[in-house]
Amino acid sequence: MAWRSNKPRPCPLQDFHSIGLQECDVVNLTHAMNICGFWRLDIDQGHLYGTPHVSKLYELDHSEGPLNIKDFCDRMHPQDVDQVMDSYYRAGTNRGVFHNIHRIITTSGTLKYIRTVGLYYPVEGASGEYRGMLHELFQLEPTASFIEL
């Protein structure tokens, strides 16, 4: 389920200012699509920080400061835990871009698919950090009606 790349892929930021949008508009539009959480992983400390929406997606109580990675792993489908941990390890080792899709077992026992994207950022005097976002992937439902001829 994971896609990984060890090569940075330069993606120029779209010029949303030219059409009258600001940074806050882009974030608000992202949130309008679905619940979207943002996170940061300190490579040297191994600490994961996340916004309250990260905890909400995993159906966990949010706390300030580093998040408990074991709690997140406990919510993951057992078949996906090793693959997710491998993605984070490889990303931290290779300083690349990564994309990961994994399953969460909800408190009601259903499956939820989570997509995570992370980018490496160098930090002066340290090994750097990853910054990323995650969101739930929804099952697509047909939205158009059939037209009878």
68 burial class (0-12, 13-18, 19+ CB within 10 angstroms)? middle
pLDDT band at 5 (very low <50, low <70, confident <90, very high): very low
Digit-coded pLDDT (tens) for 9-57 = 556 667 777 888 887 887 777 666 678 899 999 989 989 999 999 999 9
Of 138, 126, 131, the closest CA to residue 37 belongs to 131
Thinking of the domain 40-137, which architecture would CATH place it in? 2-Layer Sandwich (3.30)
The domain locations on the chain are 40-137
